[in-house]
Amino acid sequence: MKRILIILILLNAFSLGSYPNRNARGEVSENYIQAQGIVDIKLPKMQFREKEPISAVLSVRNTGNEVLRIFPYGKDLRSFQVIVRDEDGRTVTRLEEERKQDPVLRRRNKVENLVGDEVKEIILHKDETFSKEIRIDHLYELEPGKKYFVTAYFYPNISEYGDHFVRSESHPYFSVEERKKDWVLPGVPYQDPTTDGLEPEEVIHLFLGAEKKKNWKLHFKWIHFPEYIQAYDRFARDWQQSEEAEKDFVLEEFRNYLTENRSGMLQYYKILGTEKVSSNLSKVRVAVERRVNKVPVRYEYEFTLRRMPEENGMFWKVANLLAKVRK
């Protein structure tokens, strides 16, 4: 009799434990953010003027069938964080004290319900999205003339589980343009950075010519690696997911890959045309012939070049590549 009673108690305990926690409406209330939540961050544009407000929209979307529970923490919204890195992968210095906001803007940045009270819990059902706007220029010291990459980190319950977070799938980038001055010092000749120095077409000549001669040092000189590496699917994911200390190893492997001629030996190239997208962005189309296993293969390349700041001025660098086979 005692054995039967013990067995019944164990079965009852297992049956109770098999039911998930449910909220007042009878819906499952476990946090499935790791399995069915997608975190994304978007910027309204890629280029900002100096002193222009820079905002990013961080969004959390429930892609599953179960309910997601979010617990915003603190008036500073530490549950929604962004990390900004420069083009070399270094984390940008964060401002010691966040700028004080006016009451209207502060109310917009707080998570509030319809009566103005701060929300302690947000529930997302299937296909629902919660978004938050964050002023990046109020959090980080951004220098004009540089490019930055943004990554979002979302903590669904940072007060109780500070180590549990979800990183955004996208890592958008933006640049801050220097404000142009309307005056020139007497005796100093004015130079137009868009016309002086090498043009995008000339950079492509040097870039492909160096590859043909296997002068890899000169070839790599014209590549903006943090952006160019993302044109190769094999290395893009490793680059985005690697820590700052690991990026040098990924970059070294990528350089070795470019020197192994896996896409064939460069035999011939001809520049077809140049398109100026903006003052700092151009595209160059090139007809290329490579020899793969002694078989000639013809491609049409579209190089994207971006003007990057260097010690001696602004120079065009190869930032992206799209290739298609020509018949």
Q: Are 181 and 119 in contact (CB under 8 A)?
A: no
Domain 27-97+118-177 belongs to what topology? Immunoglobulin-like (2.60.40)
Identity of the highest mean pLDDT range in 79-88, 106-115, 180-189, 264-273: 264-273
User: Mean pLDDT across the stretch 13-23?
Assistant: 45
Q: Are 281 and 227 in contact (CB under 8 A)?
A: no
Whether residue 194 has pLDDT greater than 70: no
pLDDT digits (tens, 9 = 90+) for 249-279: 888 888 888 888 767 889 889 999 999 998 8
Q: Are 61 and 127 in contact (CB under 8 A)?
A: yes
User: Mean pLDDT across the stretch 295-315?
Assistant: 86
Whether residue 222 has pLDDT greater than 80: yes
Per the structure block, which two tokens stand in for 93?
């210095």
Following DSSP, what letter does each residue of 208-224 receive, concatenated?
HHHHHTT-HHHHHHTB-
pLDDT of 3:
56
Whether residue 187 has pLDDT greater than 80: no
With a pLDDT cut of 70, the percent of the chain lying above it is 71
pLDDT of 177:
83
The lowest-confidence range among 140-144, 260-264, 291-295 is 260-264
Residue 83 pLDDT class (50, 70, 90 cuts): confident
How far is residue 52 from each of residues 91, 144, 278, measured CA to CA in Å?
Answer: 21, 11, 18
Per the structure block, which two tokens stand in for 18?
């098999």
Whether residue 117 has pLDDT greater than 60: no
User: Mean pLDDT across the stretch 83-89?
Assistant: 86
CATH class of 200-325: alpha beta
Whether residue 121 has pLDDT greater than 80: no
Say whether 271 sits in a helix, a strand or coil: strand
Q: What is the mean pLDDT of the chain?
A: 76
The lowest-confidence range among 42-56, 172-186, 197-211 is 172-186
Higher per-residue pLDDT: 27 or 303: 303
Indicate the domain borders of the chain: 27-97+118-177, 200-325
Q: Can you tell me the distance from the alpha carbon of 59 to that of 68, in angstroms, rounded to the nearest whole number?
A: 13
Whether residue 193 has pLDDT greater than 70: no
Indicate the DSSP class of residue 172: -
Q: Which residues pair with 257 in a beta bridge?
A: none
Whether residue 191 has pLDDT greater than 60: no
